[in-house]
Amino acid sequence: MSVLGLAFFTALPIMPTAVQNALQRLFGRPGPAVRDYTLVRAAVMDAPQTGRATLAQETERFFNNLARGRRERILSALWQQEILTISYKGALARYGVDTRDPMSDRRLVDLCLALPHALFLHREHGRGLYQLAFADRIPAEIRLNQRRGSQGSDWAARLYAARERIADEAERSSVSQTANALIDLDQLKWLATTIPDPDTADLDAAVVPYRYRLLRTLSVTHFLRRVEGGNH
């Protein structure tokens, strides 16, 4: 992490959201807003939820709080793990497949939460605990590599290959009354029929509209359709 990056994340817990967004735009790293990730109708996003806050404001505040401290990040990770656990139990009940995740072992979680912050630091390369554990096990050219990988880097090819089934599922979303009331289904169907060819498309520009907005919304409409009986 650069000196500027370190200063940014140090000040983040006390930084107003507007200042945070302005700094990210200034340095060419604007973070997508909540509306960029969702196809929930604007009327729903702008409707007051608790007191004077709208759903959009509540959601923005939730995600901004995740970046404001170690406690919030830990709670978020545990919350996501709880959702995965429910999914795993569902898979076991429905298909007889017992999914196990070594990272969910309670002993490992307790150990990580008990470690002092300083143990994760390293003067030259960061990732102090990793450096200590693998200094004599992994070659330096691999262990000290600072480049970032990409999880699911073949997403665009897989999406393009399944474009016909995706378009069909998007078309079926109209049978859900709840989906019609909450989601911009016209935009969902348009995205489903304009999936770009990964060999010619700008995949960086396609991540938010297709990997996030399309697929996340489609998973919601599929769920709603099945729950409301639209299984045809």
Every domain of the chain and the residues it spans: 155-227
Max Cα distance, the chain (Å): 59
Q: Which phi and psi (to 5°) does residue 54 adopt?
A: -90, 170
Query: Virtual CA dihedral for 8, 9, 13, 15, nearest 10 degrees?
Result: 20
Give dist(CA 218, CA 222) in Å, integer. 6
Burial 18-44 (b: 16+ CB within 10 A, else e): eebbebeeeeeeeeeebeebbbbbeee
Q: Which tokens belong to 216? A: 């996340």
Residue-by-residue pLDDT tens, the chain, 232 positions: 677 777 877 787 777 777 877 887 787 666 667 777 889 988 888 887 767 788 877 777 776 666 566 677 777 777 777 778 888 888 899 999 888 878 878 899 899 889 887 787 766 666 788 888 898 999 988 888 878 777 888 999 999 999 999 999 999 999 999 999 999 999 999 999 999 999 998 988 898 899 999 999 999 999 999 998 866 5
∠ Cα 89 37 152 (to 5°): 60
How confident is the model at residue 189, as a pLDDT? 96
Give dist(CA 184, CA 35) in Å, integer. 12
**Nearest residue to 195 via CA among 183, 185, 206:** 206
Q: Are 183 and 220 in contact (CB under 8 A)?
A: yes
